[in-house]
Amino acid sequence: AQRIQNQTFISSSTLESYYQISSPRKANATFVFLCRNSDIKGVVTSIQQIEDRFNKKFKYPWVLLNDEPFTEDFVSRVKVLTDAPMSFGVIPREHWVQPDWIDEQQAAQSRMRMTWQGIIYAGSVSYRNMCRFNSGFFFKHELLLPYKYYWRIEPDVKYFCDLDYDPFMYMQTFNKTYGFTITMPEFAGTITTLWDTVKEFVESNPQYVAEDNALGFISEDGGNTYNLCHYWSNFEIADMDFWRSEAYSKFFDLLESKGGFYYERWGDAPVHSIAASLFLSKDQLHFFRDIGYRHEPNQHCPQGEDWSKGRCACDPKENFDFTGDSCTRQWDRIFL
């Protein structure tokens, strides 16, 4: 029995080192998936598609994060989907909950006012926790500290196409920092004072503004006002070292000090997008036109050769880029 057990042990570790050598995983990168135990159904379908369309060949690891411990049932339902490394983390309380110094009366009043205005998630504190966590904290989680690049995944999303190359290596090779698939305007009522705060930051820290930036994507008037355009952040392939940089840390600290994540409902999408558009040169941003992606109720379906090469399971005519609500026009404009 000893001998057999020993042999079994040796052969499985040999198999593991074989995987390490033969795996095409090359970049220092991981998937990041923030979710709740109750999201399990949509978590499974999202991971299954990514594995089938991409990761079964590349074996990039998965990091799942939650503000409470994942249940055994959740972990087993997810682990069965792949042999890529998977880890499950709990978010430290101070990275999640509404800070004590926030005036709860003022926050509650604004939640009520926004509810009357019919703003989505207006009354939700947990949604605000999530937005603040994604804006300023996820990349500080101990499970993510070893990694540079990440690909953000959400429950119930669709990946329509095969991806035969490694987008992380694409980012690394071409010096890209932030990648997206869908752009759109934010609801103005969620970020009433955000742009004033951005202007305050830029006035006192002009050194962080990149020379060849993408201000033209987020403003129609040279920075006087925000046009509300943002990269839809439920999809992100990006470099966490940017969020860890001095520029972004100081930027986030100022936003945090205003309390706007709770007194308003600042989203991680406009926060990330504004920072990426100002502090990076536009060449560091990348539109993944070849990635077919849907997060209800919008989708990006690749066109032409991207569509056929990717064997995409979407109608190329159904493409948010073509609608009046897309900010693709503002994006294309900055490269003219």
Binding site for ligand GDP (CB under 6 A): 34-36, 39, 66-67, 126-127, 130, 154-155, 234
Residue pair 157/199 in contact by the 8 Å Cβ criterion = no
Least distance in Å: CB of 269 to ligand GDP? Answer: 8
Residue 39 in the binding site for Mn ion (CB under 5 A): no
Would you say 232 or 251 has its CB closer to Mn ion?
Answer: 232
- Residue 66 binds what, of Mn ion, ligand GDP, none (CB under 5 to 8 Å, by partner type)? ligand GDP
Select 157 or 238, whichever has its Cβ closest to Mn ion.
157
Shortest-Cβ-distance residue relative to Mn ion: 154
User: Does 236 participate in catalysis according to the annotation?
Assistant: yes
Pick one of Mn ion, ligand GDP, none as the site partner of residue 130 (Cβ within 5 to 8 A by kind).
ligand GDP
CB closer to ligand GDP, 184 vs 209:
184
Min dist. Cβ of residue 166 to ligand GDP (A)? 23
> Of 51, 186, 236, 264, which residue is the catalytic one?
236
Residues β-bridged to residue 34:
65
Tell me which residues in 233-252 interact with Mn ion (CB under 5 A): 234
The smaller minimum CB distance to Mn ion, of residues 42 and 316, is found at 42
Q: State the minimum distance, in angstroms, from the CB of residue 176 to ligand GDP.
A: 23
Closest contact distance (angstroms) between CB of 207 and ligand GDP is 33
67 contact choice in Mn ion, ligand GDP, none (CB below 5 to 8 Å, kind-dependent): ligand GDP
Structure-block tokens of residue 16: 């593991």
Q: Shortest approach of ligand GDP to residue 178 CB, angstroms?
A: 18
Of the residues 75, 90, 119, 154, which one makes contact with Mn ion according to CB under 5 A = 154
In the complex with ligand GDP, the residue whose CB is nearer, 82 or 129, is 129
Q: Give me the least distance between CB of 316 and ligand GDP, in Å please.
A: 24
| Residue whose CB is less far from ligand GDP, 66 or 110 | 66
Q: Please identify which residue in the block is written with the tokens 């101070």.
A: 94
CA distance 48 to 78: 9
Binding site for Mn ion (CB under 5 A): 154, 234
- Known catalytic residues? 236
